[in-house]
Chains A and B, each alone.
Chain A
Amino acid sequence: MKLLARILRYQIMTSLLVLFLGAGLFFVSVRYLIDDEVNKELLNSQIKVSWQLRNIDALPVYILQLGDSLQLDAVRYPRRPILREKLLYNIAENQYHPYRQLIFYERVEGQWYKVTISKLLVQRQQLMNAVVMTVTFIVALLLISLLVLNSVLSGRIWRPFNKTLAALDQYQLEKHEVLKFPEEETEEFEKLNQSVTQLTERLATTYQNLKEFTENAAHEIQTPLAVILSKIEGLFQDETLTESQLIALSEVSEAANRLSKLNQALLLLTKIENRQFLAGTEPVNLSPIINRKLRDLEDLIDQRRINIKTELQPTGPVMHPALAEVLVNNLLTNAIRHNLQNGSILIALSTGKLEVKNTGNAINGNPEQLFERFRKDTSQSASLGLGLALVKTICQVNGQTLSYNIENEWHVLTVTWQ
């Protein structure tokens, strides 16, 4: 639920409560005033009537106002005067009307009379109507203004917040971005933006440091590796070595070579991630690269009797030519490595899209997981498990999308670009 909607809900509840309470209070107080007024009028009438009865002994017709009524009943004993409310039936209108009655007793020539003066409470009804109408009107007005205010607020006041949110949503650590915002008038949003900026600054720095460390580490490993490999190669030339020593040495050599390869691949990967490769400035035609790579990989393809089909248009994405090489190379070697004996590879290059399809064994789980580093099919132990991770990273830094799908026996890797 939106924050504004929540606030609105409480606002509406509170205003309704206050309004109804206010309306009640208003009604009660106005009624009290009116009753008080009517009582005074009744008492005035009483004085008039008493005076008339005592002194003149006859009541003029229009002693009271129209709509009031006066009734005299002979009673035996007087009682305490009563001031009360009563509903009286109006024959003409065929309905009950509220009346306020003053009943008092007056003695005329030794006979007690009960005098009842009734006053119609028309104002009260009008008042009720007025109060109900006013309250309804105010409620409606309030609701409408709250809703309007709400939408205006969410549109205007919350705009910077929504902007910040959108920026955070889009945030990618790999891009080494620092989120920056224009200055805001609202203090809270300004603070939020400052925090976000600081946070992303720290993130970018930490990430950069980490990457640099990885790269430096990989770099520093190269020299000792070079020493190890050169010493091994020197030793191989020693003719006094026995066969078993040679075999052991060759295993050391193999492992060191593998380590070196791994290190180089990692170095390349971090280098690309660190954006040390300049961004490309113009589209690289992938078609000649693909053809050249296919020629380079010819003997591998022949050996596994892989059938290659290409549909190449001279097109390609904007990227660094060296990265284009790595991309094509890794896609093709992947398609060959994970292919079947007598399998096929289809390479289709068209505007905005490169698709490499190869036959291969079914794989378990989500194919996209193969983009993770060191994720590999155990049967292919010579693989470093970095090939597709490299492809993925290259696509990421160049704003291309990479997807892996399996359609029947076909494994399909697709790179798309703008």
Chain B
Amino acid sequence: MKLLLIEDEKALATSIQNYFQRENFICEWAADYETGIEKVNIYRYDCVLIDIMLPDGDGLDAVRELKKKFPETGIIIISAKNSLDDRISGLNLGSDDYLTKPFHLSELNARVQAVIRRRNFQGNQQIVFGKISIDPQEHSATVARQEVILTRKEYDLLVYLIANKNRVLTKESIAEHLWGDDADLMDNFDFIYTHIKNLRKKLMDKGAPDYLKSIYGVGYKFSES
């Protein structure tokens, strides 16, 4: 998979690049609008991440141009602006998703994967991890062809964990993924623990190995080893 990141903040760009490299994605970086447009015109990308506040141009223009020339490329807007109007105009222009700074890299990763899955396979592709397979259209999960009945939150959690497999996920990022803006309601992270516990139990009941590793004080890691 090939990504393009148009972002003027070098430190943030490096982090994002590193994160995706571990995912075996090629993540190219353009530091300004000019370079970004140039690259878009030369190469083909599966997904473009655009900061709409660039020093030399409006990222929304880039979205517009990209949409016109390469409608099949996925677009995710990253912005420090949470302004609703921006969000709506960004999505109206055809961007697939909108993420407000600051965000968790794991969240970005999950969204990029969702966009690519939707774009490349019209959402039909099964997500497979070890013995687990997920049908994103049906919102259902199976372990060795046996259906696992999951609640909405457990399903979201599972997809998120698989999207960020082999990585340490912080409790905050999980909480924010599951509850969004309400995440600050979590007076403690017991809720996550409950969901994790239930999910693990349901998966293991159907014969899946224990993929979930708890990392003390930090969060969780979903991996086969």
- Would you call A260 and B216 a contact (CB within 8 A)? no
Q: How far is the CA of A303 from the CA of B15 in the complex (A)?
A: 37
Task: Return chain A residues, CB-CB under 8 Å to B191.
Answer: 299-300, 303
State whether the Cβ of A336 lies closer than 8 Å to any Cβ in chain B. yes
State whether the Cβ of B106 lies closer than 8 Å to any Cβ in chain A. yes
CB A326 to nearest CB in B, in angstroms, measures: 9
Q: A229-249 toward B: CB 8 Å interface, digit per residue (1/0)? A: 111011011000001001101
Task: Return chain A residues, CB-CB under 8 Å to B186.
Answer: 382
Q: How far is the CA of A253 from the CA of B105 in the complex (A)?
A: 13
- Which residues between 161 and 220 of chain B lie within 8 Å of chain A, taking CB atoms? 167-168, 170, 172-173, 176, 179-188, 190-191, 194-195, 215-219
Task: Return chain B residues, CB-CB under 8 Å to A225.
Answer: 101-102
- Would you call A233 and B83 a contact (CB within 8 A)? no
Task: Return chain A residues, CB-CB under 8 Å to B172.
Answer: 253-254, 257
State whether the Cβ of A267 lies closer than 8 Å to any Cβ in chain B. yes
Q: How far is the CA of A387 from the CA of B2 in the complex (A)?
A: 41
Indicate whether A384 sits within 8 Å of B184 (C-beta atoms), given known contacts A219-B80, A296-B179: yes
State whether the Cβ of A227 lies closer than 8 Å to any Cβ in chain B. yes
- Would you call A230 and B217 a contact (CB within 8 A)? no
Task: Return chain B residues, CB-CB under 8 Å to A322.
Answer: 84
State whether the Cβ of A4 lies closer than 8 Å to any Cβ in chain B. no
Closest A residue to B185 by CB, please name it. Answer: A333
Mostly, the B contact residues are helix
- Would you call A300 and B106 a contact (CB within 8 A)? no
Q: A202-238 toward B: CB 8 Å interface, digit per residue (1/0)? A: 0000000000000000010011011111110110110
Size category, B interface: 35 or more
- Would you call B9 and A271 a contact (CB within 8 A)? no
Q: How far is the CA of A102 from the CA of B186 in the complex (A)?
A: 118
Task: Return chain A residues, CB-CB under 8 Å to B9.
Answer: 223, 226-227
Indicate whether A233 sits within 8 Å of B217 (C-beta atoms), given known contacts A222-B102, A225-B101, A261-B184: no
Closest A residue to B173 by CB, please name it. Answer: A233
State whether the Cβ of A250 lies closer than 8 Å to any Cβ in chain B. yes
Closest A residue to B87 by CB, please name it. Answer: A322
Indicate whether A234 sits within 8 Å of B15 (C-beta atoms), given known contacts A264-B82, A276-B83: yes
Task: Return chain A residues, CB-CB under 8 Å to B176.
Answer: 257
Indicate whether A246 sits within 8 Å of B19 (C-beta atoms), given known contacts A337-B185, A380-B187: no
Closest A residue to B172 by CB, please name it. Answer: A257
CB A152 to nearest CB in B, in angstroms, measures: 55
- Would you call A253 and B170 a contact (CB within 8 A)? yes
Indicate whether A223 sits within 8 Å of B84 (C-beta atoms), given known contacts A230-B12, A233-B15, A249-B218: no
- Which residues between 56 and 97 of chain B lie within 8 Å of chain A, taking CB atoms? 80-85
Closest A residue to B84 by CB, please name it. Answer: A322
State whether the Cβ of A150 lies closer than 8 Å to any Cβ in chain B. no
Closest A residue to B188 by CB, please name it. Answer: A382
Closest A residue to B195 by CB, please name it. Answer: A299
- Would you call B82 and A267 a contact (CB within 8 A)? yes
Task: Return chain B residues, CB-CB under 8 Å to A223.
Answer: 9, 12, 80, 101-102
- Would you call B84 and A226 a contact (CB within 8 A)? no
Pick from B80, B105, B184 the residue with the most CB of A within 10 Å: B184
Q: How far is the CA of A277 from the CA of B101 in the complex (A)?
A: 20
- Would you call A329 and B182 a contact (CB within 8 A)? yes
State whether the Cβ of A268 lies closer than 8 Å to any Cβ in chain B. yes
- Would you call A236 and B218 a contact (CB within 8 A)? yes
Q: How far is the CA of A268 from the CA of B100 in the complex (A)?
A: 13
Task: Return chain B residues, CB-CB under 8 Å to A336.
Answer: 185
Q: B149-168 toward A: CB 8 Å interface, digit per residue (1/0)? A: 00001000000000000011
State whether the Cβ of B145 lies closer than 8 Å to any Cβ in chain A. no
Closest A residue to B179 by CB, please name it. Answer: A296
State whether the Cβ of A383 lies closer than 8 Å to any Cβ in chain B. yes
CB B199 to nearest CB in A, in angstroms, measures: 13
Q: How far is the CA of A250 from the CA of B217 in the complex (A)?
A: 7
- Would you call A231 and B170 a contact (CB within 8 A)? no
Q: How far is the CA of A338 from the CA of B55 in the complex (A)?
A: 44
Closest A residue to B215 by CB, please name it. Answer: A246
Closest B residue to A276 by CB, please name it. Answer: B83
CB A302 to nearest CB in B, in angstroms, measures: 10
Closest A residue to B11 by CB, please name it. Answer: A227
Indicate whether A234 sits within 8 Å of B184 (C-beta atoms), given known contacts A222-B80, A227-B11, A268-B82: no
Q: How far is the CA of A299 from the CA of B186 in the complex (A)?
A: 11
- Would you call B185 and A230 a contact (CB within 8 A)? no
Q: How far is the CA of A178 from the CA of B83 in the complex (A)?
A: 26
CB B105 to nearest CB in A, in angstroms, measures: 5
- Would you call A300 and B185 a contact (CB within 8 A)? yes
Task: Return chain B residues, CB-CB under 8 Å to A28.
Answer: none
Indicate whether A234 sits within 8 Å of B101 (C-beta atoms), given known contacts A222-B80, A247-B218, A333-B182: no
Pick from B9, B18, B182 the residue with the most CB of A within 10 Å: B182
Q: How far is the CA of A225 from the CA of B186 in the complex (A)?
A: 21
- Which residues between 1 and 25 of chain B lie within 8 Å of chain A, taking CB atoms? 9, 11-12, 15-16, 18-19, 22
Task: Return chain B residues, CB-CB under 8 Å to A229.
Answer: 102-104
- Would you call B170 and A236 a contact (CB within 8 A)? yes
CB A12 to nearest CB in B, in angstroms, measures: 65
- Which residues between 287 and 314 of chain A lie within 8 Å of chain B, taking CB atoms? 296-297, 299-300, 303
Lowest 3 A-B CB distances belong to which pairs? A230-B15, A226-B102, A247-B217
Residues of A within 8 A of B (CB): 219, 222-223, 225-231, 233-234, 236-237, 243, 246-247, 249-250, 253-254, 257, 260-261, 264, 267-268, 271, 276-278, 296-297, 299-300, 303, 320, 322, 329, 333, 336-337, 380-384
6 A–B contacts, CB within 8 A, in A order: A226-B12, A247-B217, A250-B218, A253-B172, A253-B218, A382-B186
17 further A-B contacts with Cβ under 8 Å, apart from A229-B104, A233-B105, A329-B182, are A222-B101, A229-B102, A230-B16, A233-B15, A233-B104, A234-B15, A237-B19, A246-B216, A246-B218, A247-B218, A267-B82, A276-B83, A297-B182, A299-B194, A329-B181, A382-B185, A383-B187
